[in-house]
Chains A and B, each alone.
Chain A
Amino acid sequence: EDQVTQSPEALRLQEGESSSLNCSYTVSGLRGLFWYRQDPGKGPEFLFTLYSAGEEKEKERLKATLTKKESFLHITAPKPEDSATYLCAVRSGGGADGLTFGKGTHLIIQP
C-alpha cells in the first residue's frame, strides 16, 4: 500500500526566513511525485512533478527535490502570500490509478 507522510504538520515562519517541507513516501513503482498548493476553500493548485531520484525543479521562491525515499520543498525568502497548505502526492505503477496524498503542511508566513 502506498503511503505518504508530510512533516511538519504546521510551520510558522517570519517573512524572509527560508525553510524546507518534507515528504516521505513508500510506493510500488513511482510514476511521479507531485507537489500542490492549496488555499482555504479552494482546489489544489499544481506546482511540480518529479519523476526520478536526483531531479530538481524550481518556480519563483520554491524548489522541489527528490530522493528514493523522500522529497523536499524548499522555500527561499518566503513572503506572506506563500502562506497556504502544501500537499505532496505520489502516483504508483501498481494497484489502483490515482494519487495518494499526504495530510499536508500548513505554512504561515508572518510579515
Chain B
Amino acid sequence: DGGITQSPKYLFRKEGQNVTLSCEQNLNHDAMYWYRQDPGQGLRLIYYSQIVNDFQKGDIAEGYSVSREKKESFPLTVTSAQKNPTAFYLCASTKGDYGYTFGSGTRLTVV
C-alpha cells in the first residue's frame, strides 16, 4: 500500500546536537511538507518542496534545514540553532489540489 513513512517514531536530542528526521513516500506525489505540532496550537509549516532540488521556507523555518535530492524523500534536520525543538513533527505530501497525506509523526524531545 502507498503511504508516507516517518522515522524514527521517538527521538531524543541532547543540547547542541543536530538530528535528522526521515520522511519517505511511495505515492508518486510531487510536493512534500514538514509541519510542527505543539500542544494547544495548530500545525505550523516549517519547509515545503514542490519539485526535486527545490524547497521554500514556511512560517517557522529558523533552526531547521531540509533537502530534496529524490522525489520520494524529504528529510528534516533540526539544528542546534533551534532553541525549542521539543514537539511532534509531521511530514505530508500531495499531488495537485487533492487532500494532503500525512505520516504518523516523529516525537522529538530534548534531554
Q: Name A residues whose Cβ lies closer than 8 Å to a Cβ of B.
A: 4, 31-32, 34, 36, 41-46, 48-49, 51, 87, 89, 91, 96-104
Which chain A positions have C-beta within 8 A of B104? 42-43
**CA–CA, A31 to B88, complex, Å?**
27
Contact yes or no, B98 A49, CB < 8 A: yes
**Is the C-beta of B52 less than 8 angstroms from some C-beta in chain A?**
no
Other-chain residue from A31, A46, A49, A97 in contact with B48 (beta carbon distance below 8 A): A97
Considering only CB atoms, which chain B residue lies closest to A36 in the complex? B102
Q: Sort A-B residue pairs by CB-CB distance and give the 9 closest, nearest first.
A: A43-B102, A101-B42, A46-B99, A101-B43, A98-B45, A103-B42, A44-B102, A43-B104, A49-B99
Contact yes or no, B90 A97, CB < 8 A: no
B21-42 near A? 1/0 per residue, CB < 8 Å: 0000000000101010000111
Which chain B positions have C-beta within 8 A of A42? 104-105
Q: Which residues 80-108 of B have a CB within 8 angstroms of A?
A: 88, 90, 97-105, 107
Interface centre among A4, A43, A97 (most CB of B within 10 A): A43
Contact yes or no, A98 B99, CB < 8 A: no
**CA–CA, A43 to B45, complex, Å?**
15
Other-chain residue from A46, A96, A100 in contact with B100 (beta carbon distance below 8 A): A46
Given contacts A43-B102, A99-B45, A103-B41, 12 further A-B contacts (CB under 8 A): A4-B42, A41-B88, A43-B6, A43-B103, A43-B105, A48-B99, A87-B42, A98-B33, A98-B58, A100-B42, A101-B42, A101-B43
B52-77 near A? 1/0 per residue, CB < 8 Å: 00001011000000000000000000
Which chain A positions have C-beta within 8 A of B6? 43
Shortest Cβ distance from residue A24 to the other chain B in the assembled complex, whole angstroms? 13
Which chain A positions have C-beta within 8 A of B79? none
